[in-house]
């Protein structure tokens, strides 16, 4: 269904929907029309700091493989 067909469909259907549906559509429209923001700006500052530190650690090569973490846990907790 193309843009024109969708517009025509909703021009006819909009009179039949309830208030809850209209509020959902309004919220969706508001969110869609809002200036595009980076999700990073929306998260709490303490999480931003942790993510920044993680990025720095990755750049410095301070990373661990999944396998090395599993092996360490198996050794620590005596799991075979």
Give me the number of domains the chain comprises: 2
Do 18 and 51 belong together in one domain?
A: no
Query: What value, to the nearest 5°, has the Cα angle with vertex 38 and ends 58 and 32?
Result: 145
DSSP string, 22-55: HHHHHHHHHHHHSPP--HHHHS-HHHHHHHHHHH
Residue 79: give the domain boundaries: 43-80
* pLDDT at position 8: 92
pLDDT in tens, 11-62: 999 999 999 999 999 988 888 887 676 788 888 999 999 999 999 999 999 9
> Distance between CA 15 and CA 22 in Å, rounded?
10
Do 2 and 27 belong together in one domain?
A: yes
Radius of gyration for the chain, computed over Cα atoms and rounded to the nearest angstrom: 24
Do 75 and 47 belong together in one domain?
A: yes
> Distance between CA 75 and CA 80 in Å, rounded?
8
């Amino acid at each position: 269904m193309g843009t024109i067909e969708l517009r025509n469909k909703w021009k006819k259907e909009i009179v039949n929907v309830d208030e809850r549906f209209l509020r959902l559509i309004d919220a969706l429209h508001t969110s869609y029309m809002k200036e595009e923001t980076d999700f990073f700006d929306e998260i709490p500052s303490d999480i931003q700091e942790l993510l920044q530190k993680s990025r720095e650690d990755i750049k410095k090569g301070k990373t661990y493989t999944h396998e090395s973490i599993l092996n360490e846990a198996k050794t620590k907790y005596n799991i075979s």
